């Protein structure tokens, strides 16, 4: 993650960056549990990740992404980021539904672990591209809106 521009000193970016660390740590926990064949533990970590992603995604999707989409050069990238959220969230939801309906041992972990690769790249694009650009492009009202969205998201 970047540390050169100081964008993390902006409250909402700092919060999202800290969550990125938590997200990556939980992905690692799921991966290690599946490697050991501890499917119940993997599902527990995946459920924790799903809760974190829901809150995290809502802050990005309801504040940062729309604000950055006002910048013509970021419209396409923001669309890709929205799509990646949808893809990862769908794969995680499918795995959790399988675990609830048929048991943790029945979860197909390959798509989940593959989605984690997408998630890591997604985070890198935000940390090294979108967040530094947002620090420059957005105004105080955008950051206040992001803080309100976070409070509402819990």
Residues 82-133 have pLDDT tens digits of 999 999 999 999 999 999 999 999 999 999 999 999 999 999 999 989 999 9
Q: What percent of the chain has pLDDT over 70?
A: 93
Q: How far apart are CA 14 and CA 21, in angstroms?
A: 11
Work out the burial of residue 60: count CB atoms within 10 Å of its CB; fewer than 13 is exposed, 13-18 middle, 19 or more buried.
buried
CB 24 within 8 A of CB 120: yes
16 φ, ψ to 5°? -65, -40
């Amino acid at each position: 993650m970047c540390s050169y521009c100081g964008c993390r000193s902006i409250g909402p970016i700092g919060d999202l960056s800290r969550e990125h660390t938590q997200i990556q740590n939980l992905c690692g926990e799921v991966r290690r549990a599946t490697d050991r064949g501890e499917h119940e533990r993997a599902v527990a970590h995946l459920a924790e990740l799903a809760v974190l992603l829901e809150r995290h995604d809502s802050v990005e999707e309801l504040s940062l992404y729309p604000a950055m989409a006002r910048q013509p050069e970021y419209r396409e990238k923001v669309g890709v980021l929205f799509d990646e959220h949808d893809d990862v969230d769908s794969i995680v939801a499918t795995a959790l539904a399988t675990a609830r309906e048929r048991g943790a041992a029945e979860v197909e972990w390959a798509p989940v672990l593959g989605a984690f690769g997408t998630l890591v790249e997604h985070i890198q694009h935000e940390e090294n591209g979108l967040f530094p650009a947002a620090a420059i492009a957005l105004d105080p009202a955008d950051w206040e809106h992001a803080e309100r969205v976070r409070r509402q998201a819990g």
